[in-house]
Structure 1
Amino acid sequence: MSDQGAAATSFATDIQPLFRDKDRARMDWAFDLWDHQQVKENAAAILERVEAGDMPCDGPWSADQIETFKTWMDSGMAE
């Protein structure tokens, strides 16, 4: 991904859509996967779980999805 692409990565357009309704419902006891601030605060733990394949519950994210999440984290976790 280019530097321009990394800078353009945002929660609203790139990250929140990674989390489905059922993912949100499953994690609601801990935090809201559709809430920028809550995902930002838990980003390291989320990344650890998706890289390990523990999250989401019904199968791992693709390498592209993981890279998108990492890019968002590395570029400042814009809303």
Structure 2
Amino acid sequence: MDMFFQGDNSMPTSFSSDILPLFRPTDIACMKARGVSLGVSDWMRDPTAKFGFPDHGNARRVFSALSRGKMPPDGAWPPDKLAIYQQWMNEGSISRAIPARVLRAFACGIA
């Protein structure tokens, strides 16, 4: 297990504190050029059915690529990172809003 998940399910996972830190700046930049906004909470949490998924198509498409080892390009995520992402989707945290000020602080390196 890594530092992002300690097995304590008392606090739900969140995009800003649990998911966004899993992606490196190079991952975010690489995928942005391909129309995949890994670093944008609203894009990742979009509830729209897309890409053959019944809901939250963006997040589910990213998870599909991660779990098949297609992302990131330099090697598959370890099981603990995949488990955090899966937990985020399973808990329904995927739909919770993240304040824009929190995302700006993270992007600026403040958080």
For this structure pair, what is the TM-score category when the shorter chain's length is used for normalisation?
0.7 to 0.9
Ranked by relative contact order (alpha carbons within 8 Å, sequence separation 6 or more), the top structure is: 1
Q: Normalising by structure 2, what TM-score?
A: 0.63
Give the match for residue 72 of structure 1. 88
Bigger radius of gyration: 2
Distance in 1 of aligned mates of 2:87 and 2:26: 24
More helix by share: 1
- Aligned match for 2:14, one of 6, 10, 13: 10
Give the match for residue 36 of structure 2. 31
- The Cα shift of 1:2 comes to 4.3
Q: Normalising by structure 1, what TM-score?
A: 0.86
- The Cα shift of 1:4 comes to 1.5
Is the partner of 1:4 in helix, strand or coil? coil
Unaligned runs of 5+ in 2: 1-6, 47-57, 99-111
C-alpha RMSD over aligned residues: 1.4
- Aligned match for 1:22, one of 26, 30, 34: 26
Aligned length, in residue pairs: 77
